[in-house]
Amino acid sequence: MKTFLAFILTLSFALAQEPYKIPFASKGNTLELTVANTSPITTTQVSVEATGLPSWVSYSQKTVTIDQLRAKEEKAAVFSFAIDKLAPVNKEESLTFAIRSKTGETWTKEIKIQVSPPEKFELLQNYPNPFNPTTTICYQLTRDSKVQLKVYNLLGQQVATLVDGEKQAGYHQEIFDASRYASGMYIYRIVYINESGKQSSDRKTMMVVK
C-alpha cells in the first residue's frame, strides 16, 4: 500500500499575512514544519531538509529526520536559524525545504519571508584599527536614505569620499584605502537624509600606522 503524506507549515513567529517578518540580524528564530501521515499505515525515516540555502541564513541543523510516523499521526520538524546582518531587508525572499519519504518520494515546500530593517541607525567603528593600508567602515540604515560618507584629516580637510548617493535600508560596508595618505589620525563622518527628509550624522576616528 502506498503511503501518503501531507505537509503543514507553521512558524513560531507567524503573522496574519505573508511574507513572515524576521528581525534584522537575529538569532534563535524557530521554524516548525508539521508532517502529517494521512495514510492508514505507519511510515518511517521521513527527512525534512533545508535546501537552496541563502548565504545569509544559517541553520543549527539542515536536516531533521522523523524516525516513525504512525497512521493519521502528525509530528513536527523544528529548525532553529539565524539571520546575518548582510541579509537583504524589506525584500520578499524564500526558504525552501525538501521532504523525503523512505520510499524516495519527495515534496518541496517554500516559505516566503521578509527581513525587517535595523531598528536604529548606527555608524560602527572601522576594522582593523589601527590599519595599513586598508580598513572597512560599516554602517546600518533604518530606511532608504541619501548617504554621504567622507574622510577628513585632523585639520578638517577632506581627503576621500567613500559614498555619495542613495543607499537602501540595511547593513553596508565600505573600504577605505590609505595607501596615499600619511600615518596619523583621521575622521570619518556620515551624513544621511531619509525619505521623510530627516537628516542625521555621526563621526568616528581611525588611525593609519605605516
Q: pLDDT tens digits, residue range 147-178?
A: 999 999 999 999 999 999 999 999 999 999 99
pLDDT given at position 6:
52
pLDDT given at position 118:
96
Asked whether the whole model's pTM tops 0.85, one would answer no
Per-residue pLDDT of the chain (210 residues; tens, 9 = 90+): 344 455 444 433 333 357 888 999 999 998 888 888 877 888 889 899 999 889 999 999 999 999 998 888 888 899 999 999 999 999 999 999 998 888 888 888 888 899 999 999 999 999 999 999 999 999 999 999 999 999 999 999 999 999 999 999 999 999 999 999 999 999 999 999 977 788 889 999 999 999
Q: Which three cell numbers stand for residue 22?
A: 524576521
pLDDT given at position 128:
98
pLDDT given at position 14:
34
Domains and CATH numbers, the chain: 5-115 (2.60.40.10), 122-208 (2.60.40.2550)
pLDDT given at position 11:
37
pLDDT given at position 205:
98
pLDDT given at position 34:
84
